[in-house]
Amino acid sequence: METRRIIVLSAGLGVPSSSRLLADQLAASAERQLSAAGYQVAVEVIELRDLAVDIANNFVTGYAGPRLAEVIAAVEASDGVIAVTPVFSASYSGLFKSFIDVLDPKSLEGKAVLLGATGGTDRHQMVLDYAMRPLFSYLRTRMTPTGVFAGPQDWGNTDDGGSPLSVRIDRAATEFAVLLQGSQPRPRPAASQTLPFEQLLAGISGGR
């Protein structure tokens, strides 16, 4: 039985956060769809707020600390990514974009991606098409036609699963599962070991 590895990126800042809640529901639906199609599914959820300091240090030093390097490697080795961000100033959050910026731009090429966003008003739902899709199109990913935005009115619904949000989640997850079936683009070759900034600097100085 083939295995599909899914990385879930949640850029929510609160505990709990609506972004994490949406990310979990998207991942659960995708896992159900893939399991029904005969695949084993390995899901790893990454809370980007836990990496905020490491991401900032990476920009300053050019070196990814152990925790961040491990996450970057997991993203590169995955078959698909579910990416969910809160909306700030009509776009994705700075934390979300900062994490994307520390990735090798080629590491997401050909990877299946499902986009999600949360915000305080439905007026922000176009962030999926006007901010997130251009970003992941630039990175040459394979995106699902359906992205999922969740506003305040979408939470707290205790019906039998027929809410508009659950319908959108299942539609997007089905499209994501289809992208993950069959042969997948080969993962990028493992990058050579990255040396700490101090060692790189010492090497440069020693060569003079």
pLDDT on residue 154: 81
> Side-chain half-sphere of 191: how many Cα atoms within 13 Å?
15
User: Can you read off the two tokens belonging to residue 142?
Assistant: 């394979």
- Written as one letter, the residue type at 43 is V
User: Can you read off the two tokens belonging to residue 105?
Assistant: 């731009």
Q: pTM of the predicted model, to two decimals?
A: 0.86
| Residue partners of 173: CB distance under 8 A and separation at least 6 | 26, 29, 30, 32, 33, 114
Tell me how far apart the alpha carbons of residues 204 and 208 are, in angstroms, rounded to a whole number. 7
CB atoms within 10 A of CB 31: 19
Q: Which domains does the chain have, with CATH numbers?
A: 3-206 (3.40.50.360)
Tell me how far apart the alpha carbons of residues 28 and 22 are, in angstroms, rounded to a whole number. 10
pLDDT on residue 196: 61
pLDDT on residue 130: 94
Q: Where are the beta strands (DSSP E) in 12-159?
A: 40-47, 80-88, 91-92, 112-118, 142-143, 148-150
One pLDDT digit (tens) per residue for the chain, 208 residues: 899 999 999 999 988 899 999 999 999 999 999 999 999 999 999 999 999 999 999 999 999 999 999 999 999 999 999 999 999 988 999 999 999 999 998 999 999 999 999 997 777 788 999 999 999 999 999 999 999 999 888 876 544 556 889 999 999 999 999 999 987 776 555 444 455 666 556 555 554 4
Cβ atoms of 44 and 72 closer than 8 Å:
no
